[in-house]
Structure 1
Amino acid sequence: MLILDVFSPLLLVLFLLPRYSCRAADIPEDTTAEFSVRLYHRLQAAGDQDNIVFSPLSVALALGMVELGARGASLEEIRQAVGFSHLLPGVEFSLLQNLTAALSEDNAHYVIRFANSLLLQEGITFNPEFLHLMKKYFQADVETVDFSESAAVADQINTWVENHTESKIHDLFSADDFSSATRLTLVNAIYFRGSWKNQFRPENTRTFSFSRDDGSEVQTLMMYQQGDFYYGEFSDGSQEAGGVYQVLEMPYEGEDMSMLIVLPRQEVPLASLEPIFKAALLEEWANNVKRQKVEVYMPRFKVEQKIDLKSTLKDLGIKNIFTNDADLSAMTDGKDLYIGKAVQKAYLEVTEEGAEGAVGSGMIALTRTLVLYPQVMADHPFFFVIRNRRTGTILFMGRVMTPEVVDPNDQDFDSM
């Protein structure tokens, strides 16, 4: 059985420093898709050959918690960048609350858990209304700590993170990340685990060559199946991105959640296709793929990334909260706070249960001729999105430039 584990790896942590020191009944439609795509493009620009994985929803939730305490320009920059400026003030909090409730309600087919925590410096007075709204909209656990005891605080947060991500994220912080100047820390974690509606059979997994965009090749474990999926071929209208590319949507059990895979032609680098990615295009893909029988070759892959979001968010127009001009006065009576640090760490793994014993002998032929059905051969870099099909909410977004690599000197490899 193939299981997708997105051990949520999504933690967004925000540190606020004093400036004197250096099931919802009506499921709403998510309005943050454009923000999600803009985040991706900023991360893509930072690393030409790197894997990418991040959670747009996790970023939006963490910014929502900050927004609760923001006023003036600090508030408006967040609303504008995330995509809430067209809503009446405050409506976005109910929207985020309802989205997370709809996603995390009891479901026999997949597991999604959200966890939010707020750690306050002992002796600092915070606005009771701010704390009340944090509880109301984000169900945040609130604790007081002494940030001057930096090692103890780092251990406490790391333990909390491990407990909410099935121990996939650990040692996220060190004692150096905290000091007596730290006043408040917000932590957001998302955990997702789902299995495909159409599962891969482990005995069909083979060692395979994966061609990277820099011209090199690596050996990986390629899963295979022929099944009913949502599939389409799209054109970018030019030759810059190779003209035609493939989109495959693979639902998880229950079909509320799915993974979209966008694959350029073999000879076309993913970087040539990435500039066309837009929020409207995500909807076009989702609305126009058609259910049909498809042959799917998909590598096992594991991607992990720790992102310093401060510079990325500033590039997207969220600048004020990181400066001495920050207005976070809804958190406290004064205006002596600003955001000192923003971090997200994500971990995504696609593999079969018991994968260690799933490697078979032999190679799958790389033929593209005489096939009866469309063939999706993900043996070169591809883009992916994990989203809720009802709301459009994007849990994870990223790309695979290098999948899980098999050592050619490994015994299983030599036996082939």
Structure 2
Amino acid sequence: MLILDVLSPLLLLSILLPSYGCRAADIPEDATSEFSVRLYHQLQAAGDQDNIIFSPLSVAMALGMVELGARGASLEEIRQVVGFSHLLPGVEFSLLQNLTAALSDDDSHYVIRFANSLFLQEGVTFNPEFLHLVRKYFQADVETVDFSESAAVAEQINNWVENHTESKIRELLSAEDFTSATRLTLVNAVYFRGSWKNQFRPENTRTFSFSRDDGSEVQTLMMYQQGDFYYGEFSDGSQEAGGVYQVLEMPYEGEDMSMMIVLPRQEVPLASLEPIIKAPLLEEWANNVKRQKVEVYLPRFKVEQKIDLKSILQDLGIKHVFTSNADLSAMTDGKDLYIEKAVQKSYLEVTEEGAEGAVGSGMIALTRTLVLYPQVMADHPFFFVIRNRRTGSILFMGRVMTPEAPETTESAADE
């Protein structure tokens, strides 16, 4: 059973993998970006008008822990689907180590915490080398539980997840997720909190109408600012994506992390743009946006989603580890071990708030009539990515079809 959600800085992998040492500078950028996009399209197909939020890096880390215990076809399926088949065996662990270390090793401009835990059935003997490698590469906690006490186990795991995500991820599992036959649960948690490099001023936040793709409208709190951002206008050369669309990249404090927003024209549904989203296009956007003055209207929103990864990963080609044909013999000497369940629950909140007050002075009045600079008006559905600008690794990917108000709305002003 595999459960996902993203703590401490990781050891340098040249120490961990002497045979296949991989320095941060050697990491192939976007090694798992194709996997990330394929996950997104699977989720898109499953929910027509639903918000989407998931962490591709979190999925890759959890699968990395499984891979350490896999052999044969089970191992090869994971390497193939995630995008590691072109690497020498074992190098992917150093890659994941370096990617997470690059995210975690920061001067407190933002907070990213990765936390991994392995819950084992009492009385089952696991390979000491496997436990050693899981601790070594992923700094995973290892605990034994009695899965037949399903309610107590669910409470224990949920408390662990809640503690590692500042109480944002709650009730990940229930007693019904476990049976006396459960032998293994992998839990991987990710928590991110960033402060915008260019802050929004709360007094500029107003109530706006957000037009959903089904033609309905909802009221939302719209933030506003005029600032320097990375911006570009792109076209796929046909009418598939409705012609020209906008890409806005907004860095977080420190500029290593950013949120990239992809916005179709007002009259174009996001579903028209989504089919063109591919891994090379993510790179094209990142390389071609230019820093300039932009007027930004962005709703305050939170998105959260619990995903059944088992069915999605099976559709992508990772099948063996979820069946009795699984070969997880590197975990335990027996060959009757397989993953019963794979779950990820992600949470993202976007507000004006930052570590310090807004930079600058004076209040900029809201206007939609006088446009002196490019204007990004996110008052209709958009696609987004939160990524590390140095490594290209994708921490979160998703879309906002309906902006749900964050829990903390006290600082917003109404029109």
TM-score, normalised by the number of residues in structure 1? 0.89
Q: Which residue of 2 aligns with 1:223?
A: 223
- Residues 243-282 of structure 1 mapped to structure 2, 5 A cutoff: 243-282=243-282
State how far apart, in whole Å, the 2-side matches of 1:352 and 1:136 are. Answer: 38
The 8 Å contact of residues 30 and 99 in structure 1, kept in 2 or not, is answered as no
The 8 Å contact of residues 210 and 217 in structure 1, kept in 2 or not, is answered as yes
Letter in 2 for 1:68: L
Q: SS of the counterpart of 1:48?
A: coil
* Cα deviation, residue 228, structure 1: 0.3
State how far apart, in whole Å, the 2-side matches of 1:351 and 1:259 are. Answer: 13
* Cα deviation, residue 365, structure 1: 4.3
State how far apart, in whole Å, the 2-side matches of 1:191 and 1:245 are. Answer: 30
* Cα deviation, residue 98, structure 1: 1.4
Q: For the structure 1 residues 405 and 254, does the alpha-carbon distance in structure 2 shift closer, same or farther, using more than 3 Å as the test? A: closer
The 8 Å contact of residues 150 and 179 in structure 2, kept in 1 or not, is answered as yes
* Cα deviation, residue 101, structure 1: 1.3
- In the alignment, structure 1 segments of 5+ residues that lack a partner are 1-8, 13-22, 355-362, 407-411
Letter in 2 for 1:289: V
* Cα deviation, residue 26, structure 1: 2.4
- Residues 6-155 of structure 1 mapped to structure 2, 5 A cutoff: 11=5, 24=12, 26-27=24-25, 28=27, 29-155=29-155
Q: Which residue of 1 aligns with 2:398?
A: 398
Q: SS of the counterpart of 2:339?
A: strand
Q: For the structure 1 residues 128 and 10, does the alpha-carbon distance in structure 2 shift closer, same or farther, using more than 3 Å as the test? A: closer
Letter in 2 for 1:103: L
State how far apart, in whole Å, the 1-side matches of 2:380 and 2:405 are. Answer: 13
Q: SS of the counterpart of 1:96?
A: helix
* Cα deviation, residue 379, structure 1: 0.5
The 8 Å contact of residues 200 and 225 in structure 1, kept in 2 or not, is answered as yes
% identical aligned pairs = 86
What whole-Å deviation, never above 9, does each CA across 1:101-122 have from its counterpart, x for those lacking one? 1211242211111100011111
Q: Which has the higher strand share?
A: 1
State how far apart, in whole Å, the 2-side matches of 1:338 and 1:122 are. Answer: 16
Q: Which residue of 2 aligns with 1:210?
A: 210
The 8 Å contact of residues 263 and 381 in structure 2, kept in 1 or not, is answered as yes
State how far apart, in whole Å, the 1-side matches of 2:65 and 2:30 are. Answer: 17
Q: Which fold has the larger relative contact order, with Cα–Cα distance below 8 Å and residues 6 or more apart in sequence? A: 1
Letter in 1 for 2:347: Y
Q: SS of the counterpart of 1:294?
A: strand
* Cα deviation, residue 405, structure 1: 5.2
- Residues 161-200 of structure 1 mapped to structure 2, 5 A cutoff: 161-200=161-200
Q: SS of the counterpart of 1:59?
A: helix
Q: Which residue of 2 aligns with 1:376?
A: 376
Q: Which residue of 2 aligns with 1:17?
A: none
The 8 Å contact of residues 32 and 82 in structure 1, kept in 2 or not, is answered as yes
Letter in 2 for 1:174: S
Q: Which residue of 2 aligns with 1:289?
A: 289
Structure 1 window deviating more from structure 2 (100-109 vs 162-171): it is 100-109
Q: SS of the counterpart of 1:38?
A: helix
The 8 Å contact of residues 210 and 219 in structure 1, kept in 2 or not, is answered as yes
State how far apart, in whole Å, the 2-side matches of 1:181 and 1:107 are. Answer: 45
The 8 Å contact of residues 221 and 404 in structure 1, kept in 2 or not, is answered as no
Tell me the matched-pair count. Answer: 385
State how far apart, in whole Å, the 2-side matches of 1:321 and 1:332 are. Answer: 14
The 8 Å contact of residues 306 and 343 in structure 2, kept in 1 or not, is answered as yes
Runs of 4+ in 1 over 6 A off after TM superposition: none
The 8 Å contact of residues 387 and 394 in structure 2, kept in 1 or not, is answered as yes
The 8 Å contact of residues 37 and 279 in structure 1, kept in 2 or not, is answered as yes
- Give the superposed CA RMSD: 2.1
Letter in 2 for 1:147: F
* Cα deviation, residue 10, structure 1: 5.5
State how far apart, in whole Å, the 2-side matches of 1:195 and 1:74 are. Answer: 41
State how far apart, in whole Å, the 2-side matches of 1:232 and 1:176 are. Answer: 48
TM-score, normalised by the number of residues in structure 2? 0.89
- In the alignment, structure 2 segments of 5+ residues that lack a partner are 13-22, 355-364, 407-411
State how far apart, in whole Å, the 1-side matches of 2:281 and 2:196 are. Answer: 24
Q: SS of the counterpart of 1:232?
A: strand
* Cα deviation, residue 280, structure 1: 0.3
What whole-Å deviation, never above 9, does each CA across 1:312-368 have from its counterpart, x for those lacking one? 0011111111112111111011110111100000111111349xxxxxxxx94443x
What whole-Å deviation, never above 9, does each CA across 1:30-71 have from its counterpart, x for those lacking one? 400000000000000001100000000000000000000001
Letter in 2 for 1:41: H
State how far apart, in whole Å, the 1-side matches of 2:162 and 2:64 are. Answer: 23
Q: Which residue of 2 aligns with 1:310?
A: 310
The 8 Å contact of residues 258 and 388 in structure 2, kept in 1 or not, is answered as yes
Letter in 2 for 1:305: Q
- Residues 227-246 of structure 1 mapped to structure 2, 5 A cutoff: 227-246=227-246
Structure 1 window deviating more from structure 2 (205-214 vs 345-354): it is 345-354
Q: SS of the counterpart of 2:57?
A: helix
